[in-house]
Structure 1
Amino acid sequence: MSNFRRRLEKSPALARVIATLIGWYLRLCIATSKWDVHGVDALEEELADGPVLCALWHGRLLMIAPHWPRRAGSLSCLHDTAPIGRAAGALQAYFGLQPIEMSARRSNVSASRVVMKRAKEGVSIGITADGPTGPGFAVKDAPLEWARIMQRPIYGYAFATKRHRILKTWDSMIVPLPFTRGAIVFDRLDVAVPRKATDDQIEAGRNAMTTELNRVTALADQMSGVT
């Protein structure tokens, strides 16, 4: 396993092969399942005015690339150079998005510059609020910082399927199964982080984002019949 991880970390071609296989599987899940959709029309109207910040829990990451409405605008999600991160970036590219590779050795300031460059180009930014290493369901500083500097609408995303597998990972990642009922949810979050936010305002934003992402995720679960 360690040899495979090293090969994946050093080989973009291997990451693309793995991403293609995963992409085929996700397409199968999409094609064979009945999906209820919430909020995509509102998101597309928002994208007509410019990019958004899209936040989600890491455990619901797997389907963001095929579910994103690319006809309305592209999306960039940062990923690191670790094996799983490299495969995630290749999966985004497979579905026509614009991933950004970011070494863990680079600073948050450097990452923010890349994000702002993409946003100025009209590309929306996607981020796992609790990623890439957890703890799960705890909003980190990066989405709050990006919300502060972008000053654009913040959307939450979640998917759910009635039949699925939950991996034994720190994020309890959801893997959909084919031939089931699913839900896709994009919803604007009631989160505001002022450009010159105080520490108290940052913490208020963190609490609000946690509450709102839990709401979006619960809605997806309810729509799919999980709860």
Structure 2
Amino acid sequence: MSLRRRIERSETLASVLAWLVGSYLALCNRTTRWHIEGQGDLRTALAQGPVLLVMWHSRSVMGALHWPVADGPLSSLYDASPIGRVSGALQRRVGLQSMQMSRHTSNLAASRIVLKRVREGVSIGMTGDGPLGPAHQVKDAPLEWARVTGVPVFCYAFATTRAKRLNTWDRMLVPRMFGRGAVVFARFEGAILRKPDEATREALREEMRRFMDATTAQADALISR
């Protein structure tokens, strides 16, 4: 049986791999000199209630470690793919409330699950371009869940001077130890209407894409100083 199939079938194997990956990322986190911007704004918002945290998939690997758990719980989404299973186990390892979403779950059903968590006071973390891409293209879910929940939307990105790009669809950025790093949390101020027409929805999608790219560029610029 392939490793992929074994991970899909075994929660224990996914947990073991998550421990290995998590231990490495935690070591990278401890040995990197981080500069953080926007965390004060995020904490101020969390004092009022949950938020929706959105990031590009390529910059998501450190998100669980950078979330301020003491300021509020975060429920992060993952799918049943091998990488998704490991990601879910990693999220639980660092104290997040991971939530598996089947690719066959309808948008309505997923929105109900998310809305229930938000009403319980739990923030929601997700990738803007989903688990499968295309990269840097905002999917429907961030727009829909921002509309349904009505909570503030924050974007997250990290960058580091020592990193490796994986040979994946999104060219995922994985840190190495002993670098300089930057973390950015930025509040998205786009107008999210309760009943947008299609043109308004597409304009919001493009506005969010540009803002997420700008947040990522800000993190990159901070490590180039």
> What's the TM-score once normalised by structure 1's chain length?
0.97
Partner of residue 66, structure 2: 67
Alpha-carbon distance between aligned partners in 2 of 1:32 and 1:53, rounded to the nearest angstrom = 29
Superposition pairs of residues 9-28 of structure 1, within 5 angstroms: 9-28=8-27
Superposition pairs of residues 37-76 of structure 1, within 5 angstroms: 37-76=36-75
Partner of residue 88, structure 2: 89
Alignment check: 8 A CA contact 1:155 1:189 kept: yes
Partner of residue 180, structure 1: 179
Letter in 1 for 2:125: G
Give per-residue Cα distances to partners, 1:51-71, cap 9 Å, x unaligned: 111110000010000000001
Alpha-carbon distance between aligned partners in 1 of 2:19 and 2:201, rounded to the nearest angstrom = 39
Displacement of 1:18: 0.7
Structure 2 unmatched runs, 5+: none
Letter in 2 for 1:181: R
Alpha-carbon distance between aligned partners in 1 of 2:214 and 2:24, rounded to the nearest angstrom = 28
Runs of 4+ in 1 over 6 A off after TM superposition: none
Structure 1 unmatched runs, 5+: none
Alignment check: 8 A CA contact 1:35 1:181 kept: yes
Displacement of 1:190: 2.4
Give per-residue Cα distances to partners, 1:166-193, cap 9 Å, x unaligned: 1111111000000000011111012222
SS of the equivalent of 2:219 reads helix
Give per-residue Cα distances to partners, 1:4-54, cap 9 Å, x unaligned: 101100111111111111111111111111100001111011001011111
RMSD: 1.0
Alignment check: 8 A CA contact 1:167 1:175 kept: yes
Displacement of 1:76: 1.0
> What's the TM-score once normalised by structure 2's chain length?
0.98
Is 1:113 aligned to 2:108, yes or no? no
Alpha-carbon distance between aligned partners in 2 of 1:19 and 1:12, rounded to the nearest angstrom = 10
Provide the identity percentage: 50
Partner of residue 123, structure 1: 122
Alpha-carbon distance between aligned partners in 1 of 2:77 and 2:178, rounded to the nearest angstrom = 31
Alpha-carbon distance between aligned partners in 1 of 2:203 and 2:124, rounded to the nearest angstrom = 22
